[in-house]
């Protein structure tokens, strides 16, 4: 069974599309309802889409496609959100995707969400999703992949669901494991780009945490949560590290490890964007592209705030590419030995 075309639902800025087009697949349809995301998507894929709500999509009007991919809204299931789950109106996207799958019957389904989707409701939500796919004639598998194992300098764990039409004859699927080593951030620095400068207060924070200024020498009184480093990697050089400000305090992160998950709460104004202490600046957009596995040439015809939020919500293209390679190998009769962690529902 061969695959040639994809349909990109909940497309965001095209993380799925970038990863799958790198394998020679062709996108025949894309759907995204955020106006700023659509502007970014169009700028990078020479497309002319308008914002479209997936809930209003009529399946019979869609073109045929081999692979359906979707990074459907994660907020209802995220530990960082309100965890409303099925009570959140955004959770209606998943049932709509299942209706589209039932109508269009693509050969392969690729879905992505936060790791907590696997545990939500004691695992009942993931089980129900795989059961719904099984009812439509699919053999489904799931696993959590960490982007830092796939050349992305960020510890980003996301759940992926892969489902094949039953007639493909695939009874086992082995997810890509990536490298045994995580990807450090240091090689991805874009040195000398001061396009997002830090404030004078941040200058003082760097001096304070680095021992160059005492508390009484500061021109302001820090809140209690910022009187010290909340958490620091062992053996870290505070003069050459990444500072990450959080509501609970400030963390010092080693450049020789992957950064933690790039969070949507990061402000385009600069306050919550990580700081590179050696150059006394915020991470720039080039570095933030690299933290998500996007190419330096990727364009953002939107405000910096929107660009950062779009990246934080994106699917990492290198992970998608590796997953796509595993899918195509399975369809070609290659590496299909069952992974004991992810047996099909019907097994």
At 277-298, the pLDDT tens digits run 999 999 999 999 999 999 999 9
- The CA dihedral of 152, 157, 159, 160, to the nearest 10 degrees, is 10
How many Cβ atoms sit within 10 Å of the Cβ of residue 81? 17
**Does 347 reside within a domain?**
no
Q: Where are the beta strands (DSSP E) in 191-335?
A: 229-232, 242-246, 249-253, 275-276, 281-282
Average pLDDT over residues 165-179: 94
Residues 63 and 151 in one domain: yes
CA-based nearest residue to 112, from 44, 10, 263: 10
**Does 338 reside within a domain?**
no
Residues 79 and 220 in one domain: no
Domain tally, the chain: 2
**Does 149 reside within a domain?**
yes
Residues 13 and 46 in one domain: yes
Residues 235 and 154 in one domain: no
Average pLDDT over residues 328-344: 61
Residues 145 and 214 in one domain: no
**Does 337 reside within a domain?**
no
- The CA dihedral of 214, 219, 223, 227, to the nearest 10 degrees, is -10
Instruction: Name the pairing type of β-strands 5-9 and 67-70.
Output: parallel
pLDDT of residue 336: 44
pLDDT of residue 341: 39
Tokens linked to 188: 């991805």
Could you give the CA distance from residue 104 to residue 69 in angstroms, rounded to a whole number? 13
At 212-267, the pLDDT tens digits run 999 999 999 999 999 999 888 989 999 999 999 888 889 999 999 999 998 755 55
Residues 171 and 197 in one domain: no
Residues 202 and 60 in one domain: no
**Does 45 reside within a domain?**
yes
Mean pLDDT over each residue of the chain, to the nearest integer: 90
CA dist list (Å): 247 to 230, 263, 298, 303: 11, 12, 30, 24
Active site residues: 74
CA-based nearest residue to 277, from 249, 237, 310, 314: 237
Residues 149 and 63 in one domain: yes
Residues 208 and 170 in one domain: no
Residues 274 and 325 in one domain: no
Q: How many residues does the chain have?
A: 347
pLDDT of residue 193: 97
Residues 172 and 39 in one domain: yes
**Does 214 reside within a domain?**
yes
CATH number for the domain that contains residue 82:
3.40.50.150
Helices H, strands E: what count in the chain?
8, 11
Residues 173 and 242 in one domain: no
pLDDT of residue 347: 30
Give residue 120's pLDDT band: very low, low, confident or very high (50, 70, 90): confident
Residue-number span of the structural domain to which 251 is assigned: 191-283
**Does 302 reside within a domain?**
no
pLDDT of residue 245: 85
Tokens linked to 27: 């996108």
**Does 160 reside within a domain?**
yes
Average pLDDT over residues 36-55: 94
User: 316, 293 in Cβ contact below 8 A?
Assistant: yes
Work out the angle between the directed axes of helices 124-135 and 93-104 (0-180°, nearest 10): 20
């Amino acid at each position: 069974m061969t695959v040639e075309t994809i349909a990109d639902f909940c497309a965001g800025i095209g993380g799925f599309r970038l990863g799958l087009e790198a394998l020679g697949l062709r996108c025949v349809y894309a759907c995204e309802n955020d106006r700023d995301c659509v502007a970014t998507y169009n700028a990078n894929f020479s497309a002319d889409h308008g914002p479209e709500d997936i809930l209003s999509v009529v399946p019979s009007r869609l073109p045929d496609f081999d692979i359906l991919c979707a990074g459907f809204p994660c907020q209802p299931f995220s530990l960082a959100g309100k965890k409303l789950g099925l009570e959140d109106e955004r959770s209606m996207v998943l049932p709509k995707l299942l209706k589209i799958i039932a109508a269009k019957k693509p050969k392969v389904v690729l879905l992505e969400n936060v790791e907590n989707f696997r545990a939500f409701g004691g695992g009942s939500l993931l089980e129900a999703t795989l059961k719904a796919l099984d009812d439509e004639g699919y053999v489904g598998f799931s696993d959590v992949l960490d982007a830092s194992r796939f050349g992305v300098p960020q510890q980003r764990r996301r759940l992926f669901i892969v489902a094949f039409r039953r007639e493909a004859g695939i009874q086992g699927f082995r997810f890509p494991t990536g490298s045994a080593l995580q990807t450090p951030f240091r090689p991805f620095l874009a040195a000398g780009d001061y396009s997002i400068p830090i404030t004078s207060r941040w200058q003082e924070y760097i001096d304070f945490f680095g021992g160059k200024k005492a508390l009484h020498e500061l021109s302001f009184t820090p809140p209690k949560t910022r009187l010290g480093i909340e958490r620091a990697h062992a053996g870290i050089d505070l003069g050459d590290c990444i500072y990450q400000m959080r509501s609970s305090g400030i963390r010092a992160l080693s450049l020789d490890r992957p950064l933690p998950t790039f969070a949507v709460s990061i402000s385009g104004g600069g306050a919550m964007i990580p700081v590179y202490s050696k150059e006394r600046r915020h991470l720039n957009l080039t570095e933030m592209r690299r933290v998500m596995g996007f190419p330096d040439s990727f364009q953002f015809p939107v405000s910096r705030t929107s660009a950062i939020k779009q990246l934080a919500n994106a699917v990492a293209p290198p992970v998608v590419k590796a997953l796509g390679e595993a899918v195509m190998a399975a369809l070609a009769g290659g590496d299909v030995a069952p992974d004991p962690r992810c047996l099909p529902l019907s097994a």
